[in-house]
Chains A and B, each alone.
Chain A
Amino acid sequence: MTEVPVIHGMGSAVKRKEDVRFIQGRDTYVDDISLPGMVYLDFVRSPYAHARIRSISTERAKGAPGVVAVITGKDLQPLGLDWIPTLSGDKMMVLPTEKVVFQMQEVVGVVAESRYAAADAVKLVEVDYEPLPVVTDPKKALEEGSPIVREDKRTNHVFHWEAGDREATDRLFEQADVVVGQDMYYQRIHVSYMEPCGCVAYYDSVKGTPTIWMTTQAPHVVRTVASLITKIPENKIRIISPDIGGGFGGKVYVYPGSIVAAVASIVTGRPVKWVNDRSDDHPSTAFARDFHMRAELAAKRDGTLLAFRVKAVSDHGAFFGDANPSKFPFGLFSICTGSYDLKAAFVEVDGAYTNKPQGGIAYRCSFRVTEAVYAIERLVDIMAHRLGIDPAELRLKNFIPPEKFPYRSVMGWVYDSGNYAGALRKAMEKIGYEELRREQEEKRKRGELMGIGISSFTEIVGAGPSHTFDILGIKMFGSAEIRIHPTGKVIARFGTRSQGQGHETTYAQIIAEELGIPIEDITVEEGDTDTAPYGLGTYASRSTPTAGAAAAVASRKIREKAKKIAAHLLEAREEDVVWERGRFYVKGAPAKYKTIQEVAFAAYTNHPPGMEAGLEAVHYYDPPNMTFPFGSYICVVDIDRGTGEAKVRRFVAVDDCGNIINPLIVDGQIHGGLTMGFGTAFMEEIGYDQDGNIYGANFMDYTIPTAVETPKWETDKTVTPSPHHPLGAKGVGESATVGSPAAFVNAVVDALWPLGVTHIDMPLYPWKIRRLLEEKGYALDK
């Protein structure tokens, strides 16, 4: 009998299986794919943010060396592909026929034998534009007389959305002792994945099968929508999402490049590759945030928080394409009561079209949760300062207490589990909070500016339960299909798509835990619609809550059958067979056992009479609820009174994502997320001038943090399992990006509060801080 090997199940900090290939450059990204006879697609892009197209002349381009096709919006019209549906029930232009609506919009596709020939021919396409008045400010877009972005809509108003109880909230505000309010702008940013968007499309005209390798986070959705639009039978369409170099929400979208590449392949009969250059990608693909809000918080004089309200305008660019669940035009913003036991809340959001690219993506964020957390965490801090109560104390006073879970928020969410005070206390202890406050006090006397900022966020992830969550009608379940081979090795396939999150390891660990099979023996596959079970892909921290749960349940189904086989092999009654990780034995006689591998072999060679051969299971998991990870972050900054630079001296992050599958991966997610939150807080911004010219269109202009300026992250955890998830796990991919920006801003404002500063919009550029220091007479000239 064989020994039970080390399996690296739940809680093992094993290194990621997929990293071997990533580190050695043996991965396959879309741009690594090369097919015989492949041609290249490049785009003429609009120099204007808003212009009527008088004419397009493609003659010279068509005659240029190496050019095989030139595709315009007019060519797409007869196919019904000049506009396609967005994920939010709106539609988006693929290529324009009448006017362009944002700068760098794709206008004409040029296909040629090489990338260079295509790029040269792009310059030969002549487009005659008549510039139109531009609107880039969503508030102005909603005013009477604004230029209209979408002629098919006749208004720039996209939606009005409300959540909560307006009357109850207003009443509490009237009765409150103290009310604080703040206008805030959460700036437009880009996810800045390492790999820009692209695809290789190949239409096999003999079989009538389009195959598209594309940078997508949700291949099945793409297949279904493509089939519904084109009427090509869904079984003939194959979408393959190969290795993905970061998605963060930006690759949930189908961009014009993929549509035009697919059409070009049909037209030319050849495989067509389209891969964005960085300077194409940054200004034309989906943005995140871009949200103007007025948030208000009401409290009693003793610091009891009563009610929260937000009135906001969101900028959606030219098309409403948020990748939101259908019932939530503004995502899950209604989580904005956060970690606090409030009596009422109300939010209302108006969406606006502007002459900018579409987006509003869930950038490392479960559908607008980042904006919600920022709103409440900023306001709680402002309230604390206004009341003269320490921000930690005010939070501790108002947290939802552990005994109230499951907790129904006034917005109707049922929080699964939480211990908010536990996380904050741990963070305070780790950073030496009291000591820091004393230091701050002394420094203030010496005129030195030091700030301490807290963010105690609550996330809502794992969309989602079928009663509430769907995208285009498709329920947001998670799926897993697991097959055990006769030798006890495993292939497991999922309807999600890792973009760097480490699914190949995490899922293998879940199966290892449930079946006692070592992770090396488990191959995890995702991303190919011909082989993977149907699923809605990976975003919004949903993979572990949904597909991870499916993996556990499917494994348990397999274990049920394995038990029957083991009973047969052990010549015992099934009730007498006991499972211990990796083996079955007869109750009372643990020395006599069958390993899972032996059982697997028997499933194909010696299965009980009357039982089907084989050992496999599929599970579509419908989560009973969302999961609610949380944490407390504390940031310490020192401000240079001369330059206005705010340096993060320390940052402690205590996260709670329930039971942890792989601590190394969780830590990696938190480090990455914090760094992205840091970038958002201090340096990232896509801006537009009045004419709709973008600034921040490439990495020279749009700065993202490097290892040099990134603070040292001090991470820690508390563990409060989710009561409804089969493994007690919650999502974690986004917590840090969601939770950290408020901590940075709170720290900087905390430093400046005694000068009368209540808020600074991100990014916290040194020049903004310096300007405030000058206004308050506190700037130094040396």
Chain B
Amino acid sequence: MFVIPDRFSYTVAHSVEEAVELLHTLEDSKVLAGGQSLIPFMKLGYASPKSLVDINRIPNLDYLDDSGESLKIGALTRISRLCDSELVAKDYPLIHDAALQIADPLVRNLGTFGGNVCHADMGDDLPAVCLAMNAEMVASGPSGQRVLAAKDFFVDRFTTLLASDELLTEVRIPKNRRGCGGAYLKLERRVGDYAIVGVAAQLEVDGDGVCRSVGIGLTSASTKPIKASEAESWLVGKSLSDEVLDKASTLAMNTSNPLSDIRGPAEYKKAMVKVLTHRALKLAYKRARGGL
């Protein structure tokens, strides 16, 4: 059974407006970005869109811009660019950690930030990062632009708030200030695999080490990317002692609802949410305090 996709039409969009127009008019259409999730899905018959709209030739969708209020990441920014960027490595260790652990160099050269979050699988790593960093997702549709909060964006497995004729153009990440630190820890069967469980932690602490704000996003901890909100609320205003972290990681674990699958039984994954949350917070804290 030679594994090939069903028949589909293919159109190149040259601007955001054209892409939106095409998505709106073409029958059963899908955006094609790096194709590293969509093409395997089509090949394996999990998805059979009738038309693809290729956005790779749209100019100016591939950027990292921290000149304004937030770090703006263009939807077409390749994951490899996140790995190579000094800015990301220095100021956004959480993103850097995650990017380096996504797939392999070949996939990272093609896979995009936008594609990773729009695919919205429970095992994609960047959704958890967006959740932890309270990112904003900027979308363009036939009726113009709208900005969506990451915490609302991930509706279900493979489902986001985007309408089928909407294009994600940008992700905005609050700028890291002094006292901010983040970390992404991922447990995987072998390098390049999707997470057994991944935990994204982003912290801001004051001079006394008291937590001002915190974000925790979980990968493969439910059928969709989720935010450990109870743990976040518990941590704010507290010094991050081991006991406090214990409680926070227990809360994160209780938020999770992983599936048993080839990557491990649900109980194990739950336990790993706890272990990794503890470790990720600890590392994020260390970084926030100026350590590595």
Contact = CB atoms under 8 A, between A and B. Distances in A.
B278 interface: yes
Interface in B238-292: 242, 245-246, 249-250, 262, 264-265, 267-268, 271-272, 274-276, 278-279, 282
B243 to A, nearest CB: 11
B2 A42 contact: yes
B2 A767 contact: no
A701 B262 contact: yes
A279 B275 contact: no
A643 B3 contact: no
A115 B2 contact: yes
Interface string A745-780: 000000000000000000001110011001000011
A280 B44 CA distance: 12
A348 B268 CA distance: 37
A43 B1 contact: yes
A118 B1 CA distance: 9
Contact of B1 (A116, A279, A701, A779): A279
B75 to A, nearest CB: 25
Interface string A43-85: 1110000000000000000000000000000000000000000
Nearest to B245: A782
A122 interface: yes
Contacts of B275: 642-643, 780-782
B279 A782 contact: yes
A703 B4 contact: no
Residue from A45, A771, A781 with most neighbouring chain B CB atoms (10 Å): A781
B1 A767 contact: no
A125 B262 CA distance: 31
A706 interface: yes
A781 B190 CA distance: 22
A32 interface: no
Interface residues of A, number: 36
A645 B262 CA distance: 16
A277 B43 CA distance: 12
A276 B6 CA distance: 19
Contacts of A226: none
Interface string A615-652: 00000000000000000000000000011110000000
Contacts of B2: 42, 115-116, 118-119, 122, 277, 280
Contacts of B279: 642, 782
Given A770-B271, A780-B275, A782-B279, A703 B245 contact: no
A766 B187 contact: yes
Contacts of A642: 275, 279
Contacts of A767: 264-265, 268
B246 A782 contact: yes
Contacts of B190: 683, 703-706, 708-709
Contacts of B44: 279
Given A642-B279, A643-B187, A703-B189, A45 B264 contact: no
A705 B282 CA distance: 30
B274 A781 contact: yes
Interface string B32-65: 0000000000001000000000000000000000
Contacts of A765: 189, 264
Interface in A13-62: 42-45
A695 B262 contact: yes
B192 interface: yes
Contacts, number: 80
Nearest to A774: B271
Interface string A681-715: 00100000000000110000101111011000000
Interface string A656-696: 00000000000000000000000000010000000000011
Contacts of A704: 190
A44 B1 CA distance: 6
B262 A696 contact: yes
Interface string B1-20: 11110000000000000000
Given A280-B1, A701-B262, A643 B272 contact: yes
Nearest to A43: B1
B193 interface: yes
Nearest to A115: B2
Nearest to A771: B268
A149 B8 CA distance: 41
A685 to B, nearest CB: 9
Contacts of B267: 771
A404 B103 CA distance: 54
Interface string B188-211: 011111001000000000000000
Contacts of A766: 187, 196, 264, 268
A96 to B, nearest CB: 16
Contacts of B274: 781-782
Interface in A131-154: none
B251 to A, nearest CB: 13
A781 B249 contact: yes
A706 B192 contact: yes
A277 B268 contact: no
Contacts of A696: 262
Nearest to A280: B1
Contact of B278 (A115, A705, A771, A781): A781
A704 B1 CA distance: 23
Contacts of B193: 703
Contacts of A277: 1-3
Interface in A428-473: none
Interface in B120-142: none
Nearest to A41: B2
Given A642-B279, A683-B190, A781 B262 contact: no
A283 to B, nearest CB: 10
A308 to B, nearest CB: 34
A139 to B, nearest CB: 23
Contacts of B187: 643, 645, 766
A779 B264 contact: no
B265 A781 contact: no
Interface of B: 1-4, 44, 187, 189-193, 196, 242, 245-246, 249-250, 262, 264-265, 267-268, 271-272, 274-276, 278-279, 282
26 contacts: A118-B2, A119-B4, A279-B3, A280-B1, A280-B2, A642-B275, A643-B275, A645-B187, A701-B262, A705-B190, A708-B191, A709-B190, A709-B191, A765-B264, A766-B187, A766-B196, A766-B264, A770-B268, A771-B268, A780-B275, A781-B246, A781-B250, A781-B278, A782-B246, A782-B275, A782-B278
Q: Closest 4 A-B residue pairs measured CB to CB?
A: A767-B268, A119-B2, A782-B278, A708-B191
Given A279-B3, A779-B271, 17 more contacts: A119-B1, A119-B4, A279-B1, A643-B275, A645-B187, A683-B189, A696-B262, A701-B262, A705-B190, A766-B268, A767-B265, A770-B268, A770-B271, A780-B275, A781-B271, A782-B245, A782-B246
